[in-house]
């Protein structure tokens, strides 16, 4: 397997691989252009997001600045909106359902590193995909960790750190994020 194939499969891989370096560079060029757009350049901004993201279903919104690793592993449903200064580390897929609202400074990490120091020093890393359902609101400065699945109709409180799966129809908050109440 290539390092990219290992990365996409969630296996340990070398991020310093030349193919991956080139792909991250492409994403950075697109992000740089996106992050310099003016509000009046909505059509150009949409084109850049279309070129960056893997799939876009319907109308979406994204406020720059925005940062990611590759972009092509980000898949968004109709009505998706991400506010200012979001970071999506997409070494594996990040899938958003419909009508997902992402607050400012939200960080979504599929990337992870070995706990063993020798293995970590070797430069190996891995990723675990993240899935976010329909009608989800992720409050500002929340962090979503690798491998998490968030159900439908979920509210993640501002500043929450999500380390485990969240079922549908709940409000969670805190560090680590815990159940607060059921949604109506």
**What is the distance between the terminal CA atoms of the chain, rounded to a whole angstrom?**
47
75 in active site: no
In the set 43, 75, 113, 182, the catalytic residue is: 113
Rounded to whole angstroms, the Cα distance separating 104 from 58 reads 22
For every residue of the chain, which 3-state class applies, written as one string?
Answer: CCHHHHHHCCCCEECCCHHHHHHHHHHHHHHHHHHCCCCCCHHHHHHHHHHHCCEECCCCEECCCEEECCCCCEEECCCCEECCCEEEECCCCEEECCCCEECCCCEEECEECCCCHHHHHCCEEEECCEEECCCCEECCCCEECCCCEECCCCEECCCCEECCCECCCEEEECCCCEEEEECC
Rounded to whole angstroms, the Cα distance separating 78 from 99 reads 6
Point out the residues that are catalytic: 113
């Amino acid at each position: 397997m290539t390092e990219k194939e290992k990365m996409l499969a969630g296996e340990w891989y070398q991020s310093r691989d030349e193919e991956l370096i080139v792909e991250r560079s492409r994403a950075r060029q697109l992000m740089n252009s996106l992050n310099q757009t003016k509000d009046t350049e909505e059509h150009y901004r949409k084109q850049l997001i279309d070129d960056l993201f893997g799939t876009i279903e319907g109308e979406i919104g994204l406020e720059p600045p925005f940062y990611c690793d590759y972009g092509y592993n980000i898949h968004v449903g109709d009505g998706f909106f991400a506010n200012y200064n979001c970071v999506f580390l997409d070494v594996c897929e990040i899938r958003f359902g419909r009508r997902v609202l992402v607050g400012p400074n939200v960080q979504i990490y599929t990337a992870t590193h070995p706990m063993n120091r020798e293995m970590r020093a070797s430069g190996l890393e891995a990723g675990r995909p993240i899935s976010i359902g329909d009608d989800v609101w992720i409050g500002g400065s929340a962090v979503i960790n690798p491998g998490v699945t968030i159900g439908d109709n979920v509210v993640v409180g501002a500043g929450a750190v999500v380390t485990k799966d969240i079922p549908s129809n709940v409000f969670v908050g805190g560090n680590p994020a815990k159940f607060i109440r059921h949604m109506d």
